[in-house]
């Protein structure tokens, strides 16, 4: 590309690389980089890693790119509990987090057992106290002891029972508080999961392309057949037509020529989650896309992904990228049948680590066919890709 090209005519990846070039031209500057690998293609990401390694003054990088995190010397994680420091790269961080999850799950199981044991002990103590009270009443009616002595014994028994109830109540409240705190902590550090409907089994053929010529780019005609369960990675440099191909398959763009046949329901999910309306709430979006589902069932689905109460009623534009991803995944995957074909255009961009793991876990178990555009090797590796298609402009 000519050096005289106006910046506004550059792609997002080209603009990002230009800005990084300017930063790396200052070798004595400590760099503050905010998600520098976003919008970069595979070659651009390799270039970024090399330049960061060579930069003598060092850098503080805000990123969720695991390939980039694998090269760092220290990780600082900010969550609602504060700033947590991990000495080492992503592999070390991941090992520590797995250990934290296991320890927290063990602690939660212990607290649940303690609560059950406390309930049994309370029940046994109350039954013992009731038995003693009945014995005292029988003695009172038999007249074998004086009324004054029996009254004193009754007062002591009632005082003892009152203290016992108070002790058990305090213990129960303490256990409930510890359980709540531990459960919240586990929800914070444990990767989420999303259940989905089975894919339609009407036809194993999902997509057929024959001599397809894309608009805007100068690729060779494309011929491709995709069946249920197949997972294809669409590769290529910025501007090679990856997004255009997905938009043509989704019916959002028209090809210049050739055949594009989609069999079954096809859903297109891009990094901006364009199927959602930003001014609407998560609940309203789901109601619009799933009019046959009740509000109660949709709220239950949202609550399962930590979007409870007022959070489900906030406009999407006020939510984080990870929260919008959750709404998008619910919009795509709940219902009677999941789509037969899912088109993913860099959906992992702008997501935090927990959201990326949720997306990976969901797609790993997805039974339909996938066409995925992504430059994140860790994300692609997690999807069990069966084939790839490389586009060259």
pLDDT in tens, 92-148: 999 998 999 899 999 999 999 998 998 888 888 777 777 777 666 666 666 555 566
Give the up-direction half-sphere exposure of residue 75: CA atoms within 13 A in the CB hemisphere: 22
pLDDT, one tens digit per residue, over 338-390 is 788 999 998 887 778 888 888 888 888 888 899 999 988 888 998 999 999 99
Q: For residue 67, which of 38, 96, 101 has the smallest C-alpha distance?
A: 38
Q: Does domain 205-390 have CATH number 3.40.50.300?
A: yes
Q: In 119-221, where do the E strands start and end?
A: 205-213
pLDDT, one tens digit per residue, over 15-44 is 888 999 999 999 999 999 999 998 888 888
Q: Are the beta carbons of 121 and 172 closer than 8 angstroms?
A: no
Instruction: In whole angstroms, give the CA distance from residue 314 to residue 32.
Output: 32
* Cα–Cα distances in angstroms (integers) from residue 75 to residues 42, 64, 69, 348, in the given order: 23, 11, 8, 20
**Residue spans per domain, the chain:** 7-72, 97-189, 205-390
- Maximum CA pair distance of the chain? 112
pLDDT, one tens digit per residue, over 225-284 is 999 889 999 998 888 899 999 999 999 999 999 999 999 889 998 888 888 999 999 999
* Cα–Cα distances in angstroms (integers) from residue 77 to residues 62, 208, 279, 353, in the given order: 10, 45, 31, 10
**Do the two domains 7-72 and 205-390 of this chain adopt the same fold?**
yes
Tell me which CATH code domain 7-72 carries: 3.40.50.300
pLDDT computed for residue 75 by the predictor: 95
């Amino acid at each position: 590309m000519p050096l005289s090209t106006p910046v506004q005519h550059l792609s997002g990846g080209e603009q990002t690389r230009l800005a990084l070039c300017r930063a790396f031209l200052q070798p004595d500057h400590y760099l503050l980089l905010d998600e520098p690998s976003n919008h970069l293609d595979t070659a651009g990401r390799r270039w970024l890693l090399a330049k960061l390694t060579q930069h003598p003054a060092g850098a503080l990088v805000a990123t969720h790119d695991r390939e980039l995190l694998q090269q760092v010397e220290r990780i600082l994680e900010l969550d609602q509990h504060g700033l947590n420091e991990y000495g080492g790269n992503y592999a070390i961080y991941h090992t520590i987090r797995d250990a934290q999850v296991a320890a927290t799950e063990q602690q939660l199981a212990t607290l649940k057992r303690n609560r059950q044991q406390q309930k049994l002990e309370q029940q046994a103590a109350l039954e013992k106290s009731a038995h003693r009270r009945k014995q005292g009443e029988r003695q009172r009616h038999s007249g074998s002891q004086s009324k004054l002595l029996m009254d004193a014994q009754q007062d002591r028994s009632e005082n003892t029972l009152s203290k016992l109830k108070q002790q058990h109540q305090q213990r129960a409240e303490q256990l409930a508080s510890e359980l709540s705190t531990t459960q919240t902590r586990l929800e914070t550090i444990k990767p989420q999961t999303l259940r989905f409907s089975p894919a339609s089994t009407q036809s194993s053929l999902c997509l057929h392309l024959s001599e397809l010529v894309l608009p805007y780019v100068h690729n060779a005609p494309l011929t491709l057949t995709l069946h249920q369960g197949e997972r294809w990675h669409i590769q290529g440099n910025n501007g090679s037509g990856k997004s255009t191909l997905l938009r043509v398959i989704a019916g959002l763009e028209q090809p210049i020529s050739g055949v594009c046949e989609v069999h079954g329901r096809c859903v297109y999910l891009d990094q901006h989650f364009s199927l959602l309306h930003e001014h609407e709430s998560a609940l309203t979006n789901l109601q619009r896309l799933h009019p046959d589902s009740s509000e109660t069932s949709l709220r239950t689905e949202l609550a399962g992904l930590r979007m409870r109460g007022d959070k489900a009623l906030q406009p999407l534009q006020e939510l984080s990228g990870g929260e919008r991803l959750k709404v998008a995944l619910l919009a795509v995957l709940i219902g009677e049948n999941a789509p037969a074909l899912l088109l993913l255009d860099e959906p992992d961009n702008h997501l935090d680590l927990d959201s990326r793991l949720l997306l990976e876990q969901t797609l790993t178990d997805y039974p339909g066919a996938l066409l995925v555009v992504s430059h994140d090797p860790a994300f692609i590796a997690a999807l069990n890709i069966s084939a790839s298609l490389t586009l060259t402009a």
